Amino acid sequence: MMCGIFGYIGNLNAIEILEKGLKNLLYRGYDSYGFAVFNEKEILSYKKSGSFENLEENVKKSLKGKIGIAHTRWATKGEVDEKNAHPHFGCRMKYRDGIYQSDIAIVHNGQITNYLKIRSLLEDRGYHLLTENDSELIVHFIAWKLRQGFSLSEALHASVNELDGPFAYIISTPTELGMARDKLGLRPLVVGEYDGTFIAASEEIAVRKALPKASIHYLKPGGILVWKLKKKQ
Ligand code: GLU
């Protein structure tokens, strides 16, 4: 019961790093995959069912940015299809020519065990979920908290306190990359940093291969982290 999650902030074209990073996580899950890359305006995403091999050049050209997330899935909730593949998005998602556009996107490893309670809480507040997937629930939960005026860090802390079950996830807004681990630390999340480049992944090997000189640490159980996109000088 695994999935692989990967996140990147740096000066290189994110999609190239995400593609290589995901290849080091494929044994964690291979029924579907997806990528999202973001800049200060929007998040652009591509996802498919099937195991990941390579991205076509025209897809890579569509996903331009220096920050991004990637996922390889082993389904535990929801069908194996493109809709249930990660990333999952908030309510403002649009779809055109094979590319999803949104203002918030998540990649997740784990399960949300108080799914029914959180789902009805969100539906009562007008959130419309597209799938039965528990990962989609997290992205709407965070979007709801942000809408209430929480900062991303505060919203991540709220998710750790209010969502039950094993989880590690990486979530992106157009300017920030946030991540969180469940209170018991039942799913792994490793972060590496070197000279303005940040990588987060389910496995240490994936961080080391992408950023050999990185200083590495494991996000602690219940831990959260937010990286902000630096404004251009
Ligand atoms: N529950 C999520 C899904 O089925 C993530 C899979 C997992 O890591 O267990 O998409």
Q: Look up the pTM and report it.
A: 0.96
| Cα(134) to centroid(ligand 1), Å | 7
Give the atom of ligand 1 at the shortest distance from the alpha carbon of 187.
8
Residue nearest to atom 9 of ligand 1 (CA): 110
Q: How far apart are CA 163 and CA 115, in angstroms?
A: 8
186 lines ligand 1 (CB under 6 A): no
User: How far, in Å, are 50, 65, 117, 172 from residue 229 at the CA level?
Assistant: 32, 11, 34, 11
Confidence of residue 1 (pLDDT cuts 50, 70, 90): low
42-56, 120-134, 217-231: the lowest-pLDDT one = 217-231
| Cα(7) to centroid(ligand 1), Å | 17
108 lines ligand 1 (CB under 6 A): yes
Are 138 and 106 a contacting pair, CB within 8 Å?
Answer: yes
For residue 87, cis peptide bond before it (omega within 30 degrees of 0): yes
**What pLDDT is stored for residue 37 in this prediction?**
96
The C-alpha angle with vertex 108 and arms to 102 and 114, in degrees rounded to 5, equals 105
Give the atom of ligand 1 at the shortest distance from the alpha carbon of 2.
8
Confidence of residue 231 (pLDDT cuts 50, 70, 90): low
73 lines ligand 1 (CB under 6 A): yes
Beta strand 32-38 with 94-96 is unpaired
Q: How far apart are CA 165 and CA 155, in angstroms?
A: 17
**What pLDDT is stored for residue 175 in this prediction?**
83
32 lines ligand 1 (CB under 6 A): no
76 lines ligand 1 (CB under 6 A): yes
Are 124 and 169 a contacting pair, CB within 8 Å?
Answer: no
**What pLDDT is stored for residue 52 in this prediction?**
96
Query: If you average pLDDT over every residue of the chain, what do you get?
Result: 95
Confidence of residue 225 (pLDDT cuts 50, 70, 90): very high
**What pLDDT is stored for residue 40 in this prediction?**
74
pLDDT (average), residues 95-99: 94
Give the atom of ligand 1 at the shortest distance from the alpha carbon of 108.
5
Residue-wise pLDDT for 163-184, tens only, equals: 999 999 999 998 899 999 999 9
Provide the β-strand partners of residue 167: 110
Give the atom of ligand 1 at the shortest distance from the alpha carbon of 78.
4
**What pLDDT is stored for residue 233 in this prediction?**
39
Residue-wise pLDDT for 5-54, tens only, equals: 999 999 899 999 999 999 999 999 999 999 999 977 899 999 999 999 99
Q: How far apart are CA 140 and CA 228, in angstroms?
A: 21
